[in-house]
Amino acid sequence: MEEGLFFFEPFTADFARQLKVDKIYYQGKTKYQRVQLFHNRIFGKVLFLDGKIQSAQIDEFIFHEALVHPALITHTAPRKVLIIGGGEGATLRETLRHLSVEKAVMVDIDRKLVKLCQEHMPEWSDGAFSDVRTRLIFGDARRYVERTKQEFDIIISDLTEPLKEGPSVYLFTKEFFEKIFLALKEDGVFVLQAGGADPFYNQFFASCAKTLKDIFPLVRPYWAFIFSFSNPWGFVLASKKTDPLGLDEKEISKRMSSRGVKKLKFYHPGFHHGLFSLPVYLIKALKKGRILTDKKPFIWEA
């Protein structure tokens, strides 16, 4: 990758795109993944991990607001939140907007990546790492969830896609989701980013939803279009008790106001239900997902 040239992103063997590199901030490897961080005139700062786009300055707010706020708003009083992954710090940032949150634990396996994000992408975390409510832990998220004695109101999974030999493969399986269920309080809510929600590459999204339906009493898949991903993106909310579609606009407004959640750029009370409104092709795709297990996990074939 060189300045003035184009960065080639091989989305799959059948689809690729190119982004012009205006300035390079960092390129190299951590213990767990290959990191490329550069500036593009349209997208601003862009982060790639193992050749896959993770976040772009122009629209990271769409991804992170979509991931965080539907789940936290669904809960009546989220106080303890666990974030799995989320290296850039933006998921933590959005979580801490809710003044009801008293403690936010973020567990990420890649210390070097988090430090790189703090150094080169401080706009993403916007001071969240130094918030007194934050506890940052570097380690294996699966091991943490399996061993923790704490119970959380909300657990948010902001992980990389399950690439072969990548760090996230076994964090999208039934066995791990069962541990997530146990780590939640009786009215707890779990949400995860679940990959592409387009007409072709939707198998991961569908399989995450199907796997969670085998564990949680209430599962609501939803989506948002992410400009820098050039793709609609899937999320899945799984709840022990409360249905996000049971909230009306007035109640959502009340919860946001009481918690001091304001100045968002994507999510708002009138948009909450719209996120969960799926097109016919996704409704059909959800029926074709498979249950993901440790013996047969989903591995993204590039």
Q: Domain map of the chain by residue range?
A: 6-56, 60-286
The structure's pTM equals: 0.96
With tokens 């994000």, the residue in question is: 117
Provide the annotated active-site residues.
158
| Mean pLDDT per 10-residue interval, the chain, length 302 residues | 83 84 96 95 96 95 98 98 97 98 97 97 97 97 96 96 81 97 98 96 96 98 96 97 97 98 97 98 96 91 64
According to the model, what pLDDT value does residue 11 have? 76
Instruction: Give a three-class secondary structure readout of 112-176.
Output: HHHHHHHHHCHHHHCCHHHCCCEEEEECCHHHHHHHCCCCEEEEEEECCCCECCCCCHHHCCHHH
Q: Where do runs of H (alpha helix) occur along 3-82?
A: 60-74
Going by their DSSP bridges, the two strands 15-20 and 23-29 should be labelled as unpaired
Strand 52-56's sheet: what is its strand order?
23-29, 34-40, 44-49, 52-56
6-56 — its CATH code? 2.30.140.10
CATH-assigned architecture of domain 60-286: 3-Layer(aba) Sandwich (3.40)
With tokens 């989220």, the residue in question is: 78
Number of residues in the chain: 302
CB atoms within 10 A of CB 167: 23
**DSSP E strand stretches across 204-287:** 218-226, 231-239
Which residue in 237, 171, 228, 212 sits closest to 39, CA to CA?
A: 228
According to the model, what pLDDT value does residue 302 have? 56
According to the model, what pLDDT value does residue 12 have? 75
